[in-house]
Each structure stands twice: as C-alpha cells, then as structure tokens.
Structure 1
Amino acid sequence: MTIIYYSHYLNVRLRNVTSSAIKTEDLLAATRKLNSAEETVYLGEIHRSPHGAETHLSAMPLPNPLPDTPEILALTEVFREAGAPNPELWARSQVQEGKNQLARFSFLKAISTDWLPETATDWVEAQLHSTSAVSSGPGAQLVTAVQEMVSKGVRLESIVDLVRVIQFEALFHVCQTLDVGNESDTPLADWALFEVDEQGQPTRTINALHESLLEFDPSGRELYPRPE
C-alpha cells in the first residue's frame, strides 16, 4: 500500500512506499483523481492486487477543519481576485503555516505570463506567416523550424505541446536556481529572492518556487498530456 498526501501546494507527495515500488502510471492516475477531488480530501490509498494487475484509489477525508479566521477569509479574496486556483489553500498556508505565499504566487504568476496554453495554435499560425525567417537576428531560426515542421505534417497542437514543455523547463530551471543556488562554475553560487518593503529593503524570502510552478499552467492541467 502506498499513501498519497495532497499538500497545500497541490503537489503529490509519496509516503511510506513499500518494498514493491508503485508503477509511475499508477501514481499519475492517482494524482489525477486526487487533483479532481474535493479539497477536503487529503489522503488516499493506492491498492494493488498481488500481481499488480488492478489499481484503485480510495480517498479518506480528514475531519472538518476549523472555521477560517477573518484574516484567512480576507486573504482568500486577494488570491481569488488575482486568479489563484484554490485560493483558500494559498491563504490558509500563509496564515497557518507562516509561508510567504502571496509573494510566491505573485512571482510565479509574473514569470508564467507568456506560457502558452494548449489552445495557442494561433501562435503557430503567426510563426507561419512571420517575416522573421528572412532575418539573421537572434532567434530567427524559430520561424524556420516551425515552418519546416508544419511542411512535414506535424500537427499544430503537437508543436504547441513541444513549445509548452520547453517553456516549463526553462521556467523550472530559473525557479530551481533561485531556490537552491547554482552548482555550475560561477564566481558566486549563493543567492536568494526577497520581497522588499516600500523603501526597497529586503524583508521576507521567497522560496520553494519550483514546487508550485505547475499550478500556473495556463491550461489548468499541470502540463499533463492532452486527453485522448
């Protein structure tokens, strides 16, 4: 049996893994079910037959939480107006756990503004009609590459999927570098991201960014493959 924990960041954590490791596809299936469940469902169990032929998820709701305080309710509205998914969870985490969630949310939203949604085939169309292909400037090869893929029969949706994953990997690298520093050969290898006050002085740190980046997928499905 494997226990799945549905965290405040809407990530899935693997706990108490038995010696018989669970298959990746089983974990992904359980993740999707948890992500579509009511927010009061925090724990679930993955049960497998002795031969691993069947898998199902049984969700276990936690006891009803304490009523939200006025501070949590007010902060929830701030997150909701800013477009946060599950604004209550962000607000509760900041108030109850002391995490700087409003700053984390603001930074992640800012850097993911240009992340393409799944429906962005118009972006591909724009590359097909762009005149940048005749340019020799930096990045001009993008238009040529897109035009070549389309000419060889690659679907517009597949091109969008490719670009979206590349965008995520670039953003994730930035977030992880800010979170854990740099292991490459650079003169300086330690730094941090801070919130600043009205005088521009650093106050609280903004960290663990890479843990929540998937929540900012503009398609709202945390970069899972398109449903067939």
Structure 2
Amino acid sequence: MDQVELTERLRRLGCPDPEGWARSQMEEGIPQLARYVFLRQAWKRILGENDHGWIENVLQNLQRSPDAPYAGQGHALKRLRELGARDEDLTDLVRGAQAELLFDFCYLLEDPGELEGGNLRAILGAGGTGFGGPRFGTNRQPARISA
C-alpha cells in the first residue's frame, strides 16, 4: 500500500491528521494504521460523557444476580444513589477510570515495564513485546503525529 492509499484509508476512518499518520508509517515504519484503528475502537468502549444508561443496566443485573462476580459494583451504585450521588457524577467517575485503564493498557503495549524479580525489558530484548502499541505523550494523551 502506498502513502496515498494509506492516507485515504486513514481519512475514511476519521483520522484527524491522515497525512501525518500515513507519512509516519511510510517513513518511520510505525504501524500507524493499526494503531489508529486500535485507539479508535478502544475509545468507543469508553462511556460517553452523557451516557448514564450503564447505571440502570448495572442495577438491573444486581437485582437478577446479587451475588454474581462483580455485583459489588451494583451494590456500591445503589448505596451511592441512596446517598444522593448524581448519575452525571457517577458517569464522570467511571468514564475517567475507564480512560485511565485504556491509557495504562496502551503504555503496556508500548513498554511492558518491569517484571517481578527481573527486568522484563532485558528478558524481551530491544524489540520488546512486538505489539507496537499506540504511543502516548507525557501528559497521558495519545501522541499527536506532527505533519
């Protein structure tokens, strides 16, 4: 695939800077198309700012199975609502936690870090895991690819 075709694919996917991402893939050998698709699809799994429907789903699951694995989430939501917590605040809390977890997963794909009792980087070698995950800047935001 040449740079023109790669740029067009990224554009069709909604990439904010398809030329920059395509140039990076072609010149630096970074699999930017795969990275963009991963980030795009992963971000879709983060709650939307005004998506409060998840709360009712969790509470309904709690009624059906109060002792199921992770039912503690439903019990906690129920208590928080009884204390007057607003759905907007609960969503902000969970959305933030989801985003932090996604950022952490992306960091792990790029650099798996230290292994208990040994240096994982030394064990894996210079190539790391080979996942080539999304790169992130120091502010925990996806790194923008400069044009």
User: Structures share a fold, TM > 0.5?
Assistant: yes
Q: Give the Cα–Cα distance (whole angstroms) in 2 for the partners of residues 153 and 183 of structure 1.
A: 42
Query: Normalised by the size of structure 1, how large is the TM-score?
Result: 0.49
Name the structure where helix makes up a greater proportion of residues: 2
1:113 and 2:75 correspond: no
The residue type equivalent to 1:88 in the other structure is E
Deviation, 1:192, is 1.0
- Correspondence for 1:178: 109
Deviation, 1:72, is 3.5
- Correspondence for 1:51: none
Contact 1:121 1:156 in 2 (8 A): yes
1:131 and 2:61 correspond: yes
The residue type equivalent to 1:121 in the other structure is H
Q: Give the Cα–Cα distance (whole angstroms) in 2 for the partners of residues 193 and 107 of structure 1.
A: 15
Q: Give the Cα–Cα distance (whole angstroms) in 2 for the partners of residues 90 and 149 of structure 1.
A: 43
| Structure 1 gap segments, 5+ residues each | 1-70, 195-205, 216-228
Deviation, 1:82, is 2.0
Cα distance, 1:154–1:89 mapped onto 2, change above 3 Å? farther
* Structure number with larger C-alpha Rg: 1
Tell me the C-alpha RMSD between the 2 structures: 2.6
After TM superposition, the structure 1 = structure 2 runs for residues 37-116 of structure 1, keeping only pairs within 5 Å, are 71-116=2-47
Q: How many residues in Structure 1 have an aligned counterpart in Structure 2?
A: 132
After TM superposition, the structure 1 = structure 2 runs for residues 148-163 of structure 1, keeping only pairs within 5 Å, are 148-163=79-94
Higher RCO by CA contacts (8 Å cutoff, separation 6 or greater): 2
Deviations 1:74-111 (A, max 9, x none): 22220122232332332232234432211211232343
The residue type equivalent to 1:170 in the other structure is L
Q: Give the Cα–Cα distance (whole angstroms) in 1 for the partners of residues 71 and 111 of structure 2.
A: 33
Contact 1:124 1:156 in 2 (8 A): yes
| Structure 2 gap segments, 5+ residues each | 143-147
Q: Give the Cα–Cα distance (whole angstroms) in 1 for the partners of residues 83 and 91 of structure 2.
A: 16
Q: Give the Cα–Cα distance (whole angstroms) in 1 for the partners of residues 14 and 83 of structure 2.
A: 39
1:193 and 2:130 correspond: yes
Identity across matched positions, percent: 33
Contact 1:172 1:210 in 2 (8 A): no
Q: Give the Cα–Cα distance (whole angstroms) in 2 for the partners of residues 120 and 174 of structure 1.
A: 23
Query: Normalised by the size of structure 2, how large is the TM-score?
Result: 0.72
